């Protein structure tokens, strides 16, 4: 409580000094440099405080008005950086001069207590060794088949039955929550072959071999994970980092809750890892933990825990975020919905399938329009809307912007999706057709113009698996159900955690699709 008062007091003091300075000394000295309004001493802080609740749209407006789509951002006490939506700069930082733009100490230290040195939160050798093993694992056919099978089981045994029940009872659903539960179950299976059954009815999920029964509430792990991810991302929005440090030191407020949720997550993961290390040898497994345990230099329990948690974080809210925005966009665009249904029908007729039969990998690959519709949804609502690196040594970006040693450099995927320079005058419209070539196949876009999955050596490892999951879910849901979004014409508010979520979820009602709906 006292800390909140301290923070409020400091903010008040700051606002007051800002007001006095601005009113009496600075009105003629307030200057605009490459986008953000900046003030002597306070830098961009006053503007940041005024706009941080609409951070993405505010920064998009600024970047749109900058000649090279790059802006300088400064806050007091040494924080200074660049935000860019310029593809040439993105290529430079993610590929050409990759070594100069690591995650950096500030980023790593802020989330270290949750992720340790896992792949998502490491640089240099520590990252390389994990990347090498994980790249190999993500590219094996057995992992792909394992994911296909898990997705099929989860769709048939949980997703469809829960939508069926909602259709029958007329109960409203939060579609975002349903999709998040699906993704969480799925990524836990992939990461360590544990099934938390967050989507299943009545709870009580069981894994085939781990001691999950000792956890009395199957939702607890997911809730703790959720809370840890949200609170830890809040650390990036402190106006003054020392306030967070004091709260951590005193173990109060959000920092106390964070510590508790991290401890729940870690205990859970540790238990599984320990039991797996002792039982592993005799079993034929395809999950990522098994692959890592098999490599002698990688198998200390803490190291394994960090990897598993990083992968759960990376794969957890990303596909659900993409699909939630996709279903919202579709709700007011019946022509796109019809085009997807037509494509599914063509595939079924060609392959002698019926509605409800599972689509295999080749059939998923043939869904070009659906692929385009999902990619287009992520262009406007990227699951990871901004991504930040640190600059190791002074540098000059391709657009001529000078970057200093120690500055942060953020590429702004959300703004890039709204740039006329990249996508033309229709940049703000939802048009899956922009992805299609003349023969109807979905084209690839340069990862530097469309860095949804990152680019260069650190590119997302789960991209193919993500499309398998998203297309399987979209196809099976759409051909069986009509999703009625409660408020389809109002753009939902963003909730910015590590991923782009909808504030308050996506309330929908569901009904079974009839022949005349197709």
Q: Which stretch binds ligand HEM (CB under 6 A): 362-370, 394-402, 428-436, 461-469?
A: 461-469
131 near ligand HEM, rule: CB under 6 A: yes
Q: Taking the CB of residue 275, how many other CB atoms lie within 10 A of it?
A: 13
104 near ligand HEM, rule: CB under 6 A: no
Q: Per residue in 85-108, is it b (16+ CB within 10 Å) or e — as a string? A: bbbbbbbbbbbebeebbbbbeebb
Name which of 54, 73, 88, 92 is nearest 422 in CA terms: 88
Q: Are the beta carbons of 305 and 270 closer than 8 angstroms? A: yes
Q: Are the beta carbons of 221 and 195 closer than 8 angstroms? A: no
In the bound state with ligand HEM, the residue whose beta carbon lies nearer, of 93 and 311, is 311
123-to-128, 181, 191, 499 alpha-carbon distances in Å = 8, 30, 21, 21
User: Angle 247-74-381 (CA atoms, 0-180°, nearest 5)?
Assistant: 80
In the bound state with ligand HEM, the residue whose beta carbon lies nearer, of 318 and 324, is 318
311 near ligand HEM, rule: CB under 6 A: yes
CB-based closest residue to ligand HEM: 462
Binding-site member from 36, 39, 120, 423 for ligand HEM (CB under 6 A): 120
The separation between CA 393 and the C-alpha centre of its own chain, rounded to angstroms, equals 28
Q: Which stretch binds ligand HEM (CB under 6 A): 251-259, 308-316, 342-350, 509-517?
A: 308-316
Does 442 appear as a known binding residue? no
187 near ligand HEM, rule: CB under 6 A: yes
Under DSSP, the state recorded for 515 is G
466 near ligand HEM, rule: CB under 6 A: yes
Least distance from C-beta 308 to ligand HEM, angstroms?
11
Least distance from C-beta 124 to ligand HEM, angstroms?
12
Least distance from C-beta 143 to ligand HEM, angstroms?
10
Quick note: the x/- pattern for ligand HEM over 363-402, rule CB under 6 A, is: --------------------xx--x---------------
Name residue, tokens 């079993």.
283
Name which of 349, 401, 374 is nearest 82 in CA terms: 401
In the bound state with ligand HEM, the residue whose beta carbon lies nearer, of 42 and 94, is 94
Q: Are the beta carbons of 68 and 401 closer than 8 angstroms? A: yes
User: Angle 186-191-197 (CA atoms, 0-180°, nearest 5)?
Assistant: 35
Give the Cα separation of 248 and 431 in Å (integer).
46
Q: What does the binding site for ligand HEM look like in residue numbers (CB under 6 A)?
A: 119-120, 131, 134, 187, 190, 311, 314-315, 318-319, 322, 383-384, 387, 452-454, 458, 460-462, 465-466
- Which residues are documented as binding site for heme? 460
- Which residues are documented as binding site? 460
């Amino acid at each position: 409580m006292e800390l909140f008062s301290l923070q409020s007091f400091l903010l008040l003091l700051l606002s007051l000094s800002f007001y006095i300075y601005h009113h009496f000394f600075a009105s003629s000295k307030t200057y605009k440099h490459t986008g953000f309004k900046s003030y002597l001493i306070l830098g961009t802080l006053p503007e940041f405080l005024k706009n941080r609740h609409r951070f993405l749209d505010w920064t998009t407006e600024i970047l749109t008005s900058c000649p090279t789509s790059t802006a300088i951002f400064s806050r007091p006490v040494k924080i200074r950086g660049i935000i860019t939506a310029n593809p040439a700069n993105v290529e430079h930082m993610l590929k050409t001069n990759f070594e100069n733009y690591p995650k950096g100490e500030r980023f790593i230290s802020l989330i270290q207590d949750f992720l340790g040195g896992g792949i998502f939160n490491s640089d240099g050798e520590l990252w390389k060794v994990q990347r090498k093993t994980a790249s190999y694992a993500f590219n094996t056919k057995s992992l792909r088949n394992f994911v296909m099978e898990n997705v099929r089981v989860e769709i048939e045994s949980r997703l469809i039955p829960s939508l069926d029940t909602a259709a029958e009872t007329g109960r409203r659903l939060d579609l975002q929550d349903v999709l998040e539960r699906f993704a969480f179950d799925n990524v836990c299976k992939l990461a360590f072959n544990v099934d938390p059954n967050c989507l299943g009815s009545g709870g009580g999920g069981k894994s085939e071999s781990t001691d999950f029964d000792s956890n009395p509430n199957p939702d607890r792990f997911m809730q703790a994970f959720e809370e840890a991810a949200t609170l830890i991302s809040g650390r990036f929005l402190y106006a003054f980092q020392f306030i967070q440090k004091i709260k951590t030191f005193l173990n109060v407020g959000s920092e106390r809750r964070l510590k508790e949720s991290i401890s729940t997550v870690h205990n859970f993961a540790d238990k599984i890892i320990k039991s797996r290390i002792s039982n592993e040898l005799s079993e034929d497994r395809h999950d990522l933990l098994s692959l890592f345990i098999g490599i002698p230099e990688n198998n200390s329990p803490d190291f394994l825990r960090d990897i598993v948690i990083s992968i759960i974080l990376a794969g957890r809210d990303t596909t659900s975020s993409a699909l939630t925005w996709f279903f919202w966009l579709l709700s007011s665009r019946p022509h796109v919905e019809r085009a997807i249904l037509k494509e599914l029908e063509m595939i079924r007729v060609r392959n002698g399938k019926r509605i409800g039969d599972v689509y295999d990998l080749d059939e998923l690959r043939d869904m070009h329009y659906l692929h385009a519709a999902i990619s287009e949804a992520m262009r406007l609502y990227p699951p990871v809307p901004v991504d930040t690196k640190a600059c190791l040594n002074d540098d000059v970006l391709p657009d001529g912007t000078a970057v200093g040693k120690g500055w942060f450099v953020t590429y702004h995927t959300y703004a890039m999706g709204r740039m006329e320079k990249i996508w033309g005058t229709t940049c703000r419209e939802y048009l899956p057709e922009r992805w299609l070539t003349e023969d109807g196949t979905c084209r690839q876009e340069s990862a530097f113009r469309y860095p949804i999955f990152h680019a260069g050596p650190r590119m997302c490892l789960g991209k193919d698996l993500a499309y398998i999951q998203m297309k399987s879910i979209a196809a099976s849901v759409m051909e069986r159900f009509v999703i009625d979004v409660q408020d389809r014409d109002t753009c939902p508010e963003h909730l910015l955690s590590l991923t782009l979520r909808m504030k308050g979820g996506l309330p929908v009602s569901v009904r079974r699709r009839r022949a005349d709906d197709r």
